[in-house]
Amino acid sequence: MERGIAAFARSPNAGLIVTVGGTAVRRDIIIAAAAKYRLPVIYPYRYLVSDGGLISYGPDTIEPYLRPQAM
């Protein structure tokens, strides 16, 4: 996976959009390789940013549980 990210990073104006799927299992590799090759990445969830990713654009998966429930 790192070799693919490294090859992609050599392209001018390269950036990644990580989608929902099996990326959660390998997120440490994706985040580390993106940082190593200075590749901007947009992730689907905030926890990926908390782990070291650049930015997320997606729903907050915890916030709905913190809101008081109307009865």
CB atoms within 10 A of CB 55: 11
pLDDT in tens, 15-66: 888 888 766 678 888 889 988 998 898 888 887 887 777 778 877 777 778 8
* Distance (Å, whole) CA 19 – CA 45: 9
The number of CA neighbours under 13 Å toward the Cβ of 19 is 1
Instruction: For 56, list phi and psi in degrees, rounded to 5.
Output: -125, 150
Give the global pTM: 0.69
Taking residues 5-16, what's their average pLDDT? 88
**pLDDT over threshold 70, residue 71:** no
* Distance (Å, whole) CA 29 – CA 26: 6
